[in-house]
């Protein structure tokens, strides 16, 4: 009670430095938690997105680029695959489902992907979850200039069934490169929290035959999404396309391919983590400096307390508790900062990739990081506490002139 | 039996030039329970040091201070702190109120290191010294005389057996000084507390039946004067 009263009053007397110090600790805590959770969730969510598919077949090139292009609608396509290659693959007994996709056009910056209707009717948007349309819509029909629009695109562009649009050539929006073909929106996908939300889907033939596209490649596709009957099938096709063949790339297993992405970004994670640790150290230093400096002004108060009968250990404990309280206050702010950072980061990741992070998902680091920083704050209080502990009473009882 | 008994108490400080300067050298001093004694002496004769030695804030180089049955010179520091909080009430010349705490909290703090904070008693003491309507005021919001009265209330809050007052009226105007002195003596008498009051004000000294001169008690002081 007495200890808490002493600490409360001291914090109030040095309110500005208390708040500034707590804010610097909050920054460290918020950064640490955000970096950790984004890293972990991004890895889990990205690799989880591949769950509906086992492999991707594409032109000879980097597997990672192929997967990012075919599944996440990022990057450029590494090249084309002849339609006959798709037919050969889909007729292979070890393949459960093969769906071709074609890319190369956009509408106001959002990618247009040509595919077959069985993508929606036979494949899954995410493991255990079928594609579903918002009420009032229907799937497009192959052979018609119709489109099904991902939920994110529909929301951003305000598209609804019955609306029409004219695609633009290329993956990036250029107002001068509009096609003549006009498409009618037949349905809007329900949000699936997958990259499918960020795409406008049209019939494969529609994209292949878009006005202005090369006649030589009219039947080609950009990639083939593959669902296998077994893991052994993956090894067989890996051998067939990657080791024996030299025209095509078979990206399998997808988790391993995507792990390369995170391995490549590992240094970035480490830099961010290092920055967060440095901020934490600086913040702990500021706790130390703030309390240590305030002790000069409080020498007389401490001497008065001692003269009234307060034991040295109480003075020591009050300083440690003060440092701990600043750190604890900082950690309350850190959770708020974490929510802000995660809200912003998840919005950016969703806008760029369609992958949705959950800022409110439980992660042990949300408790471990604040606890560690509170302990660090308490440790930062030890040196000032020792100084307060050894504050000579008689010398400091008289007011400073 | 005396409440306070001092024998051969010596205390020296080292000067910046490395020499030992004797400040207190008192062969003997006694104070009975409930007794009120005024201690006089010119500035620099070790009056405050003498009080701090009795309170256990400073430790002597040699000698004994027997206070309420406990030898302050052999007690450990925590035990001295505990004994000081339980037995002594200290009124400082500069009041030494904690600026971040209200009047009531200042009194409660003084109590909390002794027998325990008693809000009712703290309030009644502040009412007794005329500050019943200033309980939640901070020291800076009070006049010098009012601050002095808070310091008096704090010193007497634990019903100490001995009140040490270090020139308690030194910062007050004559009217406030007289009122304050009367209040301190009255409260000590009411509670049965002994009072050892340091002052160099002849009017204050004259009002005490027993007056001691530290210059007479203190051999160190005599030495210093002789030098």
Strands A183-188, A164-165: pairing is: antiparallel
With contacts defined as CB-CB under 8 Å, which chain B residues touch A2? 109, 112-113, 117
**Measured between alpha carbons, how far is A107 from A170 in angstroms, rounded to an integer?**
9
| Beta-carbon pairs below 8 A across chains A and B | 65
With contacts defined as CB-CB under 8 Å, which chain B residues touch A391? none
- Span of A50-54, A66-70, A109-113, B36-40 with lowest mean pLDDT: A50-54
- Exposed (0-12), middle (13-18) or buried (19+): which is B28, by Cβ within 10 Å? exposed
User: Which tens digits make up the pLDDT trace of A216-230?
Assistant: 667 889 999 999 998
Residue (of A275, A224, A184) closest to A84 by Cα position: A224
Cα torsion A110, A113, A118, A122: sign: negative
Q: What angle do CA B106, B112, B115 make, to 5 degrees?
A: 130
Cα torsion A146, A152, A156, A161: sign: positive
pLDDT at A276: 81
Token output for A213: 């596209």
Pairwise CB contact (< 8 Å): B96 & A307: yes
- Read off the pLDDT band of A49 (50, 70, 90): low
Radius of gyration for the alpha carbons in chain A, expressed in angstroms and rounded = 30
Length, in residues, of chain A:
401
B-chain residue closest to A12, CA distance = B100
Q: Which of A32-36, A221-225, A343-347 shows the highest mean pLDDT?
A: A221-225
A-chain residue closest to B156, CA distance = A308
Token output for A365: 């680091």
pLDDT at B63: 94
Strands B162-166, B88-91: pairing is: parallel
CA distances from A309 to A322, B11, B98, B188 (A): 20, 22, 14, 20
DSSP B52-70: HHHHTSS--SEEEEEETTE
Counts for chain A of helices (H) and strands (E), in that order:
14, 12
Could you say which of B52, B94, B110 has the minimum Cβ distance to residue A308? B110
Average pLDDT (A243-261) is 88
**Measured between alpha carbons, how far is A107 from A76 in angstroms, rounded to an integer?**
16
Pairwise CB contact (< 8 Å): A308 & B90: yes
Pairwise CB contact (< 8 Å): B110 & A313: no
Phi/psi for A21 (5° steps) reads -65, -45
Answer whether A323's CB lies under 8 Å from A384's CB: yes
pLDDT at A185: 97
- How many angstroms separate the CA of residue A312 from the nearest CA in chain B? 8
pLDDT at B223: 53
**Measured between alpha carbons, how far is A374 from A324 in angstroms, rounded to an integer?**
6
Counts for chain B of helices (H) and strands (E), in that order:
9, 9
Residue A134 has pLDDT above 80, yes or no: yes
Phi/psi for B52 (5° steps) reads -65, -30
**Measured between alpha carbons, how far is B131 from B127 in angstroms, rounded to an integer?**
5
- C-alpha B68, offset from chain centre: 16
Whole-number mean pLDDT of chain B? 89
User: Which tens digits make up the pLDDT trace of B91-141?
Assistant: 998 889 999 899 999 999 989 888 888 999 999 999 989 899 999 999 999
Residue (of A211, A105, A106, A121) closest to A153 by Cα position: A106
- C-alpha A23, offset from chain centre: 25
Could you say which of A13, A307, A311 has the minimum Cβ distance to residue B100? A13
pLDDT at B227: 35
- How many angstroms separate the CA of residue B224 from the nearest CA in chain A? 21
A-chain residue closest to B96, CA distance = A304
Residue A364 has pLDDT above 70, yes or no: yes
Pairwise CB contact (< 8 Å): A311 & B82: yes
Pairwise CB contact (< 8 Å): A309 & B86: yes
**Measured between alpha carbons, how far is B146 from B152 in angstroms, rounded to an integer?**
10
Pairwise CB contact (< 8 Å): B78 & A10: no
pLDDT at A398: 73
User: Which tens digits make up the pLDDT trace of A164-199?
Assistant: 999 999 988 999 999 989 999 999 999 888 888 899
Q: How many CB atoms lie within 10 A of CB A232?
A: 10
DSSP A290-329: HHHHHHHHHHHHHHHHHHHT--HHHHHHHHHHHHHHHHHH
- Which strand (E) or helix (H) includes residue A217? none
At which residue do the structure tokens 């703030």 appear? A290
- How many angstroms separate the CA of residue A329 from the nearest CA in chain B? 21
pLDDT at A381: 92
Residue A127 has pLDDT above 90, yes or no: no
State the helix-helix crossing angle for B103-112 and A2-13, rounded to 10 degrees: 140
Could you say which of B90, B98, B113 has the minimum Cβ distance to residue A301? B98
With contacts defined as CB-CB under 8 Å, which chain A residues touch B109? 2, 5, 305, 308
Residue B225 has pLDDT above 60, yes or no: no
What percent of chain B is modeled with pLDDT above 70?
Answer: 96
* B44 or A182, greater pLDDT: A182
Spell out where A200-345 has E strands.
200-203, 223-228, 248-251
pLDDT at B218: 78
pLDDT at A159: 95
Residue A293 has pLDDT above 90, yes or no: no
pLDDT at A108: 95
- Exposed (0-12), middle (13-18) or buried (19+): which is A26, by Cβ within 10 Å? buried
State the helix-helix crossing angle for A15-48 and A266-308, rounded to 10 degrees: 150
- Span of A48-52, A292-296, B81-85 with lowest mean pLDDT: A48-52
For A91, half-sphere exposure in the C-beta direction (CA atoms, 13 angstrom radius) is 6
With contacts defined as CB-CB under 8 Å, which chain A residues touch B85? 308-309
Whole-number mean pLDDT of chain A? 89
pLDDT at A283: 85
Three-state DSSP class for B223?
Answer: helix
Three-state DSSP class for A223?
Answer: strand
Token output for A3: 């200890």
At which residue do the structure tokens 């001068």 appear? A176
Average pLDDT (B157-179) is 88
Pairwise CB contact (< 8 Å): B109 & A311: no
Cα torsion B162, B198, B214, A401: sign: positive
A-chain residue closest to B98, CA distance = A301
Spell out where B53-192 has E strands.
62-67, 70-71, 88-91, 162-166
With contacts defined as CB-CB under 8 Å, which chain A residues touch B87? none
Average pLDDT (A257-262) is 83
Contact residues, A window 304-333, toward B, CB-based 8 Å cutoff: 304-313
**Measured between alpha carbons, how far is A330 from B218 in angstroms, rounded to an integer?**
56
- Read off the pLDDT band of B226 (50, 70, 90): very low
């Amino acid at each position: 009670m007495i200890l808490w009263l002493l600490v409360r009053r001291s914090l109030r007397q040095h309110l500005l430095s208390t708040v500034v110090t707590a804010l610097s600790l909050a920054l460290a805590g918020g950064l640490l938690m955000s970096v950790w959770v984004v890293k972990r969730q991004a890895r889990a969510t990205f690799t989880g997105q591949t769950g509906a598919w086992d492999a991707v077949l594409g032109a000879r090139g980097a597997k990672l680029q192929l997967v990012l292009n075919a599944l996440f609608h990022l990057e450029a396509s590494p090249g084309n695959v002849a339609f006959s290659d798709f037919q050969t693959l889909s007729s292979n007994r070890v393949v459960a489902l093969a769906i071709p996709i074609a890319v190369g056009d956009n509408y106001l910056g959002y990618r247009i992907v040509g595919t077959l209707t069985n993508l929606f009717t036979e494949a899954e948007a995410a493991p255990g979850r079928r594609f579903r349309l918002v009420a009032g819509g229907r799937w497009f029909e192959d052979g018609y200039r119709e489109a099904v629009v991902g939920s994110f695109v529909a929301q951003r562009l305000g598209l609804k069934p019955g609306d029409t649009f004219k695609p633009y050539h290329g993956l990036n929006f250029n107002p001068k490169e509009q096609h003549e073909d006009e498409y009618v929106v037949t349905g809007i996908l329900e949000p699936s929290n997958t990259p499918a939300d960020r795409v406008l889907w049209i019939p494969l033939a529609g994209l292949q035959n878009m006005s202005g596209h090369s006649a030589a490649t009219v039947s080609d596709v950009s990639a083939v999404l593959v669902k296998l009957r077994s893991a052994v099938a993956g090894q067989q096709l890996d051998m067939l396309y990657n080791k024996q063949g030299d025209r095509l790339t078979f990206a399998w297993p997808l988790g391993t391919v995507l792990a390369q992405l995170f391995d490549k970004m590992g240094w970035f994670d480490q830099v961010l983590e290092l920055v967060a640790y440095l901020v934490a150290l600086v913040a702990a230093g500021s706790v130390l400096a703030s309390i240590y400096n305030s002790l000069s002004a409080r020498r007389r108060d401490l001497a008065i307390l001692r003269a009234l009968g307060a034991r040295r250990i109480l003075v020591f404990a009050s300083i440690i508790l003060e440092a701990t309280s600043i750190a604890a206050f900082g950690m309350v702010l850190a959770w708020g900062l974490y929510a802000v950072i995660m809200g912003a980061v998840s919005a950016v990741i969703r806008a760029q990739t369609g992958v949705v992070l959950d800022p409110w998902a439980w992660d042990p680091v949300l408790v471990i990081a604040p606890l560690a920083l509170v302990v660090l704050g308490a440790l930062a209080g030890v040196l000032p506490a020792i100084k307060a502990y050894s504050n000579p009473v008689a010398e400091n009882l008289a007011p400073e002139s | 039996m005396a409440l306070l008994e001092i024998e051969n108490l010596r205390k020296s400080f080292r000067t910046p030039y490395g020499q030992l300067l004797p400040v207190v050298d008192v062969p003997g001093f006694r104070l009975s329970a409930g007794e009120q004694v005024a201690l006089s002496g010119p500035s620099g004769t070790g009056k405050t040091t003498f009080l701090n030695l009795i309170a256990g804030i400073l430790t002597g180089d040699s000698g004994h201070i027997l206070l309420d049955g406990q030898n302050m010179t052999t007690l450990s520091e925590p035990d001295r702190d505990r004994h000081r909080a339980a037995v002594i009430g200290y009124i400082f010349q500069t009041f030494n109120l904690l600026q971040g705490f209200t009047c009531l909290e200042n009194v409660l703090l003084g109590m909390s290191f002794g027998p325990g904070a008693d809000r009712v008693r703290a309030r009644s003491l502040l009412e007794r010294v005329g500050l019943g309507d200033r309980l939640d005021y901070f020291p800076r919001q009070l006049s010098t005389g009012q601050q002095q009265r808070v310091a008096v209330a704090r010193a007497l809050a634990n019903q100490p057996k001995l009140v040490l007052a270090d020139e308690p009226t030194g910062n007050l105007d004559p009217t406030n000084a007289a009122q304050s002195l009367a209040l301190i003596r009255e409260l000590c008498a009411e509670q049965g507390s002994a009072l050892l009051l340091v002052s160099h004000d002849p009017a204050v000294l004259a009002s005490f039946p027993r007056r001691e001169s530290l210059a007479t008690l203190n051999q160190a002081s005599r030495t210093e004067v002789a030098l």
